[in-house]
Amino acid sequence: MAPPSSRHSSYSKKAQYSVFTGYLLAGLGALLGAGLLALSLWQPSSFAPLRGAANDVVAPAGEGTAMVRNETGNLFDAISGYLSAGSQNAALREEVELARIRLEEAKSVEQENERLKALLNLAEGEAEPVAVARLVGSSSSSSRRFAAIGVGRVDGIEVGMPVHSARGVVGRILEVARGSSRVLLLTDSESVLPVRRAKDEVVAFAEGRGDGLLRIRLINLGTNPLEEGDLFVTSGAGGYYRPGMAVAIVSEVTSDGAVARLIAEPSATDFVSVEPIFEPEAVEAAATPIEEPLAE
Amino acid sequence: MERLNPTARADRYGSRINRVQSPWRALTVPYVTIMLGSLLPVLFLADVMPVVPPIAFLFLIGWRIMRPGLLPLWVGVPLGAFDDLFSGQPFGSAVMLWSITMIVLELIETRFPWRGFWQDWFTASLAIVAYVVVAMVVSGASMTPHLLLAAVPQIALSILLYPVFARMVARLDMFRLARSRRIA
């Protein structure tokens, strides 16, 4: 396409100046952007209030799309369910029988657990969730993995609170605004979560890889005890997450750990609940420099 | 009297009698589409990898390439700042990258004033690849091969969608310049 006007600078001083000014302003803008970028990489929370205010405005629109997303997801599940209904029915029936037996066993274990805890004077129960909300959106065009929920400071949300769905851990609160919050999903490449294998005490870190899978990094190096299908749950270390919440299942064993798949995929969940921080004292202690004594 | 052809006094922007272009519409449509493009990806839930193309950026280069001179050279600053509020990138990344994009596209335009659509698509593809990769580098994520691999579908989709966006920009440009205001 030909340029609509003659856009090369002519002999006119005015035209030359306006071209020059355009370049100058754009160059200054790029420098300004670089400065802002450096500032926000150095202090990631410095623009959080601005972002929060903007997300407060968009969050209500997200509620609508979240509802549509859940409905269409259910529709696809229903259609695919019809295709394999017969054979699945028999298999499920058998599985339910077994699950019932296991459930009764689990109940007795739970009771015994409670009794033992009572003996030890450990008062610990299910934490009451701070809020229940829909995931209203995400940073779907960026390489970071953030999600937004439609509850915020007015609902009692605070930074660091764990977010989970009915299946397991989804992430934790990163920034809080008045009526919306940003969630750091487990799949983000900056997310690290202390986990342990559900059946024994193999402890590890679950790090996001940035492509939807988690990397399980064992803390104790040596022979790799992991196997495909191992379930990892939160270990409670670090103080943010209550121990025993499901996180991931090993899908591939590597030389120094494993690659694991998420159990609670955010896009497949409709509601998530935000729980209070498991051990606020531990989080505070971890944030306090070693030289300072902890306030009692 | 013989009936006149009803389109005789109209051009592609509508009837030329009694109608003028609305200055509001002519000046705001590009900015509104780019800002809507910033808002739209927020509503998708991508938990695995970036899948939605950077719609605002596609609109920006679409308007810049299809209508040179319409957007001022410094437009990356305000529009980029708006995009940064919603994109999940650290604040300032779009301000910087969009400003650099505008300067580079301006330089390309002064070097190649006569261009065809294929060349525009090629330019836009280069801009998209560079933008997505650099945005990933400055996003604060730790760079891994998996992260780069996860961005490939997004880049491919964005490049393939550029002609669609160019068509949309052309349509929006017709809407922008339509003679909608009635003069008494």
Query: What pLDDT sits at residue A293?
Result: 65
Query: What pLDDT sits at residue A1?
Result: 47
Query: What pLDDT sits at residue A255?
Result: 83
CB A275 within 8 A of CB A126: no
Average pLDDT of the residues in A254-282: 84
Say which of A37, A135, A209 has its CB closest to residue B92.
Answer: A37
Token pair recorded at residue A20: 């020059």
B-chain CB neighbours of A30 within 8 Å are 76, 95-96, 99-100, 103
Which region among A81-90, A207-216, B62-71 has the lowest average model confidence (pLDDT)?
A81-90
Query: What pLDDT sits at residue A2?
Result: 47
Query: What pLDDT sits at residue B161?
Result: 94
Interface of A with B in 55-114 (CB under 8 A): 55, 58, 61-62, 65-66, 69
pLDDT greater at residue B91 or residue B12: B91
In this structure, which topology does domain A55-87+129-277 adopt according to CATH?
Thrombin, subunit H (2.40.10)
How far apart, in whole angstroms, are the C-alpha atoms of residue A53 and residue B89?
16
How far apart, in whole angstroms, are the C-alpha atoms of residue B121 and residue B113?
15
Query: What pLDDT sits at residue A201?
Result: 81
Instruction: Kindly tell me the burial class for residue A167, based on how many C-beta atoms sit within 10 Å of its own C-beta (0-12, 13-18, 19 or more).
Output: middle
B97 is a domain residue: yes
Sequential DSSP letters for B160-180: HHHHHHHHHHHHHHHHHH---
> Does the pLDDT at position A123 exceed 70?
no
B108 is a domain residue: yes
Complex-level ipTM beyond the 0.90 threshold: no
Query: What pLDDT sits at residue A109?
Result: 85
Give the percent of chain B with pLDDT over 90.
Answer: 51
Q: Which range of residues forms the domain containing residue B155?
A: 33-182
Q: How many CB atoms lie within 10 A of CB A43?
A: 11
Subunit contact B43:A30, Cβ cutoff 8 A: no
Q: Per-residue pLDDT tens for A51-85? A: 888 888 888 888 888 888 777 777 777 777 777 78
> Does the pLDDT at position A288 exceed 80?
no
Average pLDDT of the residues in A158-181: 89
- Total of domains in chain B: 1
pLDDT greater at residue A86 or residue B56: B56
How far apart, in whole angstroms, are the C-alpha atoms of residue A167 and residue A271?
11
CB contacts < 8 A (A, B): 220
B-chain CB neighbours of A210 within 8 Å are 49, 141-142, 144, 146-147, 150
Which region among B72-81, B111-120, B160-169 has the lowest average model confidence (pLDDT)?
B111-120
CB A164 within 8 A of CB A135: no
β-strand partners of A175? A182
Q: Per-residue pLDDT tens for B35-76? A: 999 998 888 877 778 888 999 999 999 999 988 888 999 999
Interface of B with A in 56-115 (CB under 8 A): 66-69, 72-74, 76-77, 80, 84-100, 102-103, 106, 109-110, 113-115
Interface of A with B in 221-250 (CB under 8 A): none
Instruction: Kindly tell me the burial class for residue A171, based on how many C-beta atoms sit within 10 Å of its own C-beta (0-12, 13-18, 19 or more).
Output: buried
Subunit contact B99:A55, Cβ cutoff 8 A: no
Q: Which of A41, A56, A143, A192 to mutate to test the interface with B (most CBs of B within 10 A)?
A: A143
Q: Per-residue pLDDT tens for A1-30? A: 445 554 555 677 877 788 888 899 999 999
Taking the Cβ of residue B145 and every Cβ of chain A, the question of whether any pair is shorter than 8 Å is answered with: no
Say which of B54, B89, B102 has its CB closest to residue A26.
Answer: B102
Subunit contact A40:B115, Cβ cutoff 8 A: no
Q: Which of B43, B52, B57 to mutate to test the interface with A (most CBs of A within 10 A)?
A: B43
What is the CA A192 to chain-centroid distance, rounded?
A: 10
Query: What pLDDT sits at residue B124?
Result: 94
Average pLDDT of the residues in A264-278: 83
Mark out the alpha helices in A84-233 (DSSP H runs): 85-119
For residue B142, the chain A residue with the least C-alpha distance is: A189
How far apart, in whole angstroms, are the C-alpha atoms of residue A258 and residue A100?
32
- Mean of the per-residue pLDDT values of chain B: 89
Taking the Cβ of residue B184 and every Cβ of chain A, the question of whether any pair is shorter than 8 Å is answered with: no
- Mean of the per-residue pLDDT values of chain A: 83
Give the percent of chain A with pLDDT over 70.
Answer: 92
Smallest CA–CA distance, residue A237 to chain B, in Å, is: 23
How far apart, in whole angstroms, are the C-alpha atoms of residue A270 and residue A166?
9
